[in-house]
Amino acid sequence: MARFCGEMNSAHLIANAKEFQQRCLLQGKSLFTDKVVWTSEYCAELIHCFIDNPDAGNGDFFEKLEGQLASASAEVKVLATEMLWFMFLCPSNTGPASKRQSIERVFSWSGFQIDPQRSAQYLSDDALTGVGSAGTAYNTGRWRELVYCIRITEALLKLNQQQRSELFNDHQRFAEWLESIPENENRQLRHMLLFLFFPDFNERIFGKTDRRSILLHLGHVGTKQYSSMLASEIDARLLALRKQFEAEYGTADLDYYVEPLKTKWKKAVPSTIDVVEEPKQGYTVTKQGQNFKSLNKILYGPPGTGKTFNTIDEALAIIDPGYLAEHSDNRCLLKARFDKLVASHRISFVTFHQSFSYEDFVEGLKASSEGSALSYSVAPGVFKTICERASSSYSDAISVDDFEAAILALQQASEEADERIQMETVRGKKFEIEYSGGLTFRVFPHATESTDPKYVASIANVKKLYLTGSKQEIYNTSYVEGFLLYLKKHFGLKAYSDDAVTREQIANPEPYVLIIDEINRGNISNIFGELITLLEPTKRAGAKESLSVKLPYSKEPFTVPSNLYIIGTMNTADKSLAQVDIALRRRFEFKEMMPQPELLAGIDVEGIDITNMLRTINQRIELLYDREHTIGHSFFMPLKHEPKIERLSRIFELEILPLLEEYFFEDWERVGQVLGDHLKTDATLRFVNEKYSDATVLKLMGNDWQANGVRPFQRNIAALMTPEAYIGIYDSVES
């Protein structure tokens, strides 16, 4: 069983976790007090104080947390304490005394007292010793893990007690349910949660590095296959591997950090991965031409036509078309695959707005203070970051197993080390590195006294230098070069080849996608600046007419790689296509997305033909305004799962009527015309009515008053709950 942890006894830990599951997550009671704190109301308050208030407070995690919870209720402070307690259960690289001190510190903010008996059970050394290393990233990114914990709690509390109980009794179902939680694929707390709740099926492997290494060495899984696997699929592979070893050794008391399994995968100096047999020959690489998929595309149309929704399909069609074709009818799987690609940095998502700038998008100066000294460093924006990743990405046609294995070992060494790893530049200048997760290591030069000098060594750039030998377009060159020298010296990384590999020799780079939502809401000229020209396919890196520019802050040469695809969305109700920057228009393909009422076919809401209703509304909008301000079908898609008049009423009251009011500048007479009110003989079925009758006006203003402008109207709330009012939109006959 996976609950076996060698010399570490997991029994007390698992028993406490079971108590926590029953008392807190099922019954809503506090673990440390007699209060009821695990409720949706207190969770919502914690979200408001912590997640929605990220900039409150100063200092380290706990100092900042104290500022964020300053105005929170005492029960919310208890709730936050118990979440942190749960987060502290598994890690063994933080001592129980330190954990206990932190828990008691946060709990003290509530003003309550912890019952001594409960303290002995839940805060003892046995309870807080832990069962495995969580790595430095778990502590340095503690706020991310807490956000994940809060989101799990929020989602669980939306379920009734019976539904929660069913989830807690099915390890596979629970793991699949977790896939709906944001950041699920990246959080170590996910693996701790599954180990504590289902120790017979999940290992005490909390770091992504070790999970990957075990499957690469022992599970006959290749690097490309692993990168496409969901966390739940990795769990299943690890469980199957465990059963295989249990049959081989005739015992369930096996653990990957204990012999005889430890040396099978955990090697200090890895060489090539012999057990993974990837084909090196016998196939051909077909280079995707520029016409295979449009490099720059904008989905445009009225609100509610599914533009952002369809960016998932558009991105998967570029990066993983096979998966899209295989699972085209399963939106949950497509979204999960999309999230996996976002987590692996193959897809980036950004939303433009009026304040979005060149500095946010490309690069800019970032101020930082150390004591009384103020310093500035160049920080890359979302566009430059994904361009760097894309330009250093290569297909499986080139074997980089040695490099990947060396990086994997360095990540693991960095996460497990008590201190930062020390390296040297080519000129002998010393610096230290710390793995910060994702694709970067933070760099701490000995020459600076700053505790956070903002330097990074990108794995993508190290890989580029290893494969090409070229330092062009590499940020922080000296540290990247020193990084590569360290890999060669300490992890046995051999030179890739005697001759530098040119970009033209690298076949079929992996595609990357940048999604820009609401692209027309930003100032395109300011955001793209001089880079707008580089977006053209003929001006991309490697093209015949390739161009590069020198960036104004870093002074680095910059090109846009040919394997970066840009997908934008544009709401025509915000800005007409004719008004879009001409520089943008001629560099992007535009795909129109108009309302599709036919997608609503089959929805039955008390006899209302939703398809016909939407089609009629849009026809009237085209006559009274234009087609760019029609209403999309997605407003009514919730009716597929909830075909009730109450749901339709909320859609009209909170979405459709306010949108029409905005379109027609509060001219409610025209709003009524769109909804067919002018053709309804029964005034009770009209959605908007004149507020004052002629008699009331006469009484208020007298005989001599003459109306000027539009007369006041008001909503008829009763009509929103009347099916005949909606039927009258498309079934009215002028008398």
- The reported pLDDT for the residue numbered 394 is 56
Sole residue written with tokens 């060594």: 457
Instruction: Compute CA distances 672 → 486, 595, 613, 678, 689, whole Å.
Output: 72, 21, 14, 7, 8
Task: Write the pLDDT tens digit of every residue in 10-32.
Answer: 888 999 999 999 999 999 999 99
Residue 332 in contact with residue 602, Cβ under 8 Å?
no
Phi, psi for residue 354 in degrees, rounded to 5: -65, -30
How large is the average pLDDT for residues 560-576?
A: 86
| pLDDT above 60: residue 144 | yes
Task: Write the pLDDT tens digit of every residue in 473-530.
Answer: 676 788 889 999 999 888 878 776 534 344 444 556 789 999 999 998 888 888 988 8
Whole-angstrom distance, CA of residue 449 vs CA of residue 371 = 11
- The reported pLDDT for the residue numbered 47 is 93
Q: What is the largest CA-CA distance in the chain?
A: 102
- pLDDT-derived band of residue 399, with 50, 70 and 90 as boundaries? very low
- Residue 260's Cα: distance from chain center in Å? 38
* Cβ count near 244 (within 10 Å): 12
Instruction: Compute CA distances 142 → 137, 147, 188, 472, 556, whole Å.
Output: 8, 9, 10, 36, 34
Whole-angstrom distance, CA of residue 316 vs CA of residue 334 = 8
- The reported pLDDT for the residue numbered 2 is 66
Task: Write the pLDDT tens digit of every residue in 652-669.
Answer: 999 999 999 888 887 888
How large is the average pLDDT for residues 398-416?
A: 73
- Cα Rg of the chain (Å, integer): 30
Whole-angstrom distance, CA of residue 719 vs CA of residue 311 = 37
Minimum mean pLDDT range among 15-19, 165-169, 487-491, 673-677:
487-491
Residue 457 in contact with residue 470, Cβ under 8 Å?
no
Whole-angstrom distance, CA of residue 633 vs CA of residue 645 = 17
Whole-angstrom distance, CA of residue 32 vs CA of residue 115 = 7
DSSP three-state, residue 376: strand
How large is the average pLDDT for residues 200-219?
A: 86
Minimum mean pLDDT range among 14-18, 135-139, 191-195, 664-668:
135-139
Q: What percent of the chain has pLDDT over 90?
A: 39
- pLDDT-derived band of residue 711, with 50, 70 and 90 as boundaries? low
Query: Would you give the DSSP letter of residue 628?
Result: G
- pLDDT-derived band of residue 710, with 50, 70 and 90 as boundaries? low
How large is the average pLDDT for residues 399-414?
A: 75
User: Which burial class, exposed, middle or buried, applies to 565 when counting CB atoms under 10 A from its CB (0-12, 13-18, 19+)?
Assistant: buried
Q: Which two tokens stand for residue 133?
A: 């290393």
- The reported pLDDT for the residue numbered 726 is 95
Identity of the residue numbered 735: S
| pLDDT above 70: residue 170 | yes
Beta strands in 269-372 (DSSP E): 296-301, 347-351, 363-370
Which has more pLDDT, 324 or 690?
A: 324
Whole-angstrom distance, CA of residue 511 vs CA of residue 347 = 9
Whole-angstrom distance, CA of residue 444 vs CA of residue 455 = 7
Q: How many CA atoms, within 13 angstroms, populate the side-chain half-sphere of residue 390?
A: 26
Whole-angstrom distance, CA of residue 540 vs CA of residue 557 = 13
User: Which burial class, exposed, middle or buried, applies to 277 when counting CB atoms under 10 A from its CB (0-12, 13-18, 19+)?
Assistant: exposed
| pLDDT above 60: residue 542 | yes
**Comparing C-alpha atoms, which of 348, 362, 355 is closest to residue 529?**
362
Minimum mean pLDDT range among 21-35, 101-115, 234-248:
234-248
Query: Residue 380, preceding bond cis, omega within 30 degrees?
Result: no
Which has more pLDDT, 388 or 22?
A: 22
Identity of the residue numbered 417: A
Identity of the residue numbered 225: Q
Task: Write the pLDDT tens digit of every residue in 449-459.
Answer: 655 556 777 78
Helix (H) or strand (E) segment spanning residue 604: strand 604-605
CA torsion sign, 617 to 623 to 629 to 633? positive
**Comparing C-alpha atoms, which of 530, 574, 568, 571 is closest to residue 549?**
530
| pLDDT above 80: residue 396 | no
Whole-angstrom distance, CA of residue 223 vs CA of residue 221 = 7
**Comparing C-alpha atoms, which of 518, 528, 523 is closest to residue 358?**
528
Task: Write the pLDDT tens digit of every residue in 607-653.
Answer: 999 999 999 999 999 999 888 899 999 999 999 999 999 999 999 99
Whole-angstrom distance, CA of residue 239 vs CA of residue 189 = 19
Sole residue written with tokens 């693991």: 412
pTM of the model: 0.54
- The reported pLDDT for the residue numbered 395 is 45
Query: Residue 260, preceding bond cis, omega within 30 degrees?
Result: yes
User: Which burial class, exposed, middle or buried, applies to 641 when counting CB atoms under 10 A from its CB (0-12, 13-18, 19+)?
Assistant: exposed
- The reported pLDDT for the residue numbered 449 is 60
- pLDDT-derived band of residue 370, with 50, 70 and 90 as boundaries? low
Q: What percent of the chain has pLDDT over 70?
A: 86
Q: Which two tokens stand for residue 544?
A: 């015949």
- As a 3-state breakdown, the chain gives helix, strand, coil percent values, each rounded to 5, of 50, 10, 40
Minimum mean pLDDT range among 21-30, 247-256, 390-399, 502-511:
390-399
- Residue 502's Cα: distance from chain center in Å? 34
Residue 540 in contact with residue 534, Cβ under 8 Å?
yes
- Contacts of 357-362 spanning 24+ positions with Cβ under 8 A: 357/526, 357/527, 358/526, 358/527, 358/528, 358/529, 360/527, 361/527, 361/528, 362/528, 362/529, 362/531, 362/551
Query: Would you give the DSSP letter of residue 24?
Result: I
Whole-angstrom distance, CA of residue 462 vs CA of residue 403 = 10
Q: Angle formed by the axes of helices 11-20 and 74-88, to 10°?
A: 150
Any idea how long the chain is?
735
- The reported pLDDT for the residue numbered 256 is 87
Name the region of 666 (left: φ>0; alpha: ψ -120 to 50; beta: rest).
left
- pLDDT-derived band of residue 42, with 50, 70 and 90 as boundaries? very high
- pLDDT-derived band of residue 87, with 50, 70 and 90 as boundaries? very high
Q: Which two tokens stand for residue 447?
A: 């020459």
